[in-house]
Homo-oligomer: A and B are copies of this chain.
């Protein structure tokens, strides 16, 4: 049994939903279908989720938002028309939206969750109606009826352990279940949405709960690539990769999955397959718990920009027990999370995402570090990029770091930081942001030139 999740672009229009139906029909193992809200039909289009946010915010501010509501209904109407579904389903959706707006305005966060989640929920109803109209045995299932219990944190739901037991009952369903992504219900019956990557999370939870043989994640690319196609021309396709490789690459800007999304599948060792709704015959990328490696110790190269370095120097720092802990306490007091802590003997740096650092926070932490830790020097520099070289084969291969650093030297990229040694599957190189694309291209050339079109 397979759980198949279809992302926003896969369900953005009647034409796309017909492709989804063809995919579902082609494999009788595809029993649980998780759907997103309709995404963009073109690069200028607006996602239904964004229309819904506008609707909710306007309604909260002005007490009515008829034009915004009609804009949402029009999207579904357009899709329903393209699928020859008639007006019933559109009327259902419109009534549903009006009912949501009638929710208690004194709970604005929950009201927003309710409105946002309607994008997935109504699309699931519409797609189930379409499946039925073409003769598939299919049914819409609401997450509350399915028992998808989550914590009551608006916009940041965490699945509760008892949800998995409830969802296990879906295994063996005769009918195809069409399930909306992005939300669950708290124990008191409140709808709560997941954080970023919400529909992927729903699919992952369902795959884990039903102990699916495979979790298929349909999107609009043929596979995960070994490097960003916007930076490297025609990067090779990755045929198989491990959860760990996926996680390290997604951290550094590979945007296929949000990193929390796969946890339930990962913990239950459910294989995940990334596939293309627009080219379903392509084999896609399999994400599994273990793999062998053959050609290259490296499977992917990613770079992420926007890092700052907090540099602290104090003579005999390494003898001062508690120094590092007190430094991290100061960051914690400001709610800052950090990424790496390269250290010398008398100095240490803390690398963190600079988006967190307002000038007020920066001033406070520099001031506290100077006063409380009596340091000789402290400063913050911005605009670093972290380049991540990832592969299961790296740990046991002598010379990966030699090849990587030589490639950067060839590209005349100064390495500001190297962090290797804890993760067995990655090497992190800190460089200046303006060197990032050049670095990725040269590293790609070093590790992938002469590789076939796909690697595993």
- From B331, B409, B414, B423, A345 is in contact (CB under 8 Å) with B423
A335 within 8 A of B: yes
A325 within 8 A of B: yes
Within 395-447 of A, Cβ neighbours of B (below 8 Å) are at 396, 398-399, 401-402, 404-406, 408-409, 412-423, 425-428, 430
Whether the Cβ atoms of B423 and A344 lie closer than 8 Å is yes
Chain A interface category by residue count:
35 or more
CA distance A68 to B321 in the complex (A): 39
Asked, given contacts A339-B318, A346-B247, A402-B406, whether A420 binds B417 with beta carbons under 8 Å apart, the answer is: yes
- Chain B residue nearest in CB terms to A408: B402
Whether the Cβ atoms of A421 and B418 lie closer than 8 Å is yes
Whether the Cβ atoms of A415 and B423 lie closer than 8 Å is no
Most chain B CB within 10 A, of A319, A324, A337, is at: A324
A328-368 Cβ-contact flags toward B at 8 Å (1 or 0):
11011001111111111111110000000000000000000
Asked, given contacts A318-B339, A328-B328, A421-B349, whether A415 binds B430 with beta carbons under 8 Å apart, the answer is: no
A165 within 8 A of B: no
Asked, given contacts A251-B345, A335-B321, whether A398 binds B412 with beta carbons under 8 Å apart, the answer is: yes
A77 within 8 A of B: no
A260 within 8 A of B: yes
A321 surroundings in chain B (CB, below 8 A): 332, 335-337
- Chain B residue nearest in CB terms to A420: B418
A103 within 8 A of B: no
A379-403 Cβ-contact flags toward B at 8 Å (1 or 0):
0000000000000000010110110
CA distance A324 to B423 in the complex (A): 15
In the complex, how many angstroms separate the beta carbon of A318 from the nearest chain B beta carbon? 6
Within 262-284 of A, Cβ neighbours of B (below 8 Å) are at 263, 266
CA distance A419 to B347 in the complex (A): 12
A331 surroundings in chain B (CB, below 8 A): 325
A396 surroundings in chain B (CB, below 8 A): 414
Asked, given contacts A405-B405, A421-B419, whether A341 binds B343 with beta carbons under 8 Å apart, the answer is: yes
A316 within 8 A of B: yes
In the complex, how many angstroms separate the beta carbon of A306 from the nearest chain B beta carbon? 15
26 A-B pairs within 8 Å (CB atoms) are namely A244-B346, A247-B346, A248-B344, A266-B315, A318-B339, A320-B337, A321-B336, A322-B332, A324-B328, A340-B343, A342-B342, A342-B421, A347-B422, A347-B423, A398-B413, A398-B415, A399-B409, A401-B418, A405-B405, A416-B421, A417-B421, A418-B418, A418-B421, A418-B427, A419-B419, A419-B421
Task: List 11 other contacts, CB 8 Å, given A324-B338, A340-B343.
Answer: A251-B318, A259-B316, A260-B316, A263-B315, A320-B337, A339-B343, A342-B419, A345-B426, A398-B408, A402-B406, A421-B430
Instruction: Give the 3 A-B residue pairs with the shortest CB-CB distance, closest first.
Output: A344-B423, A417-B421, A399-B409
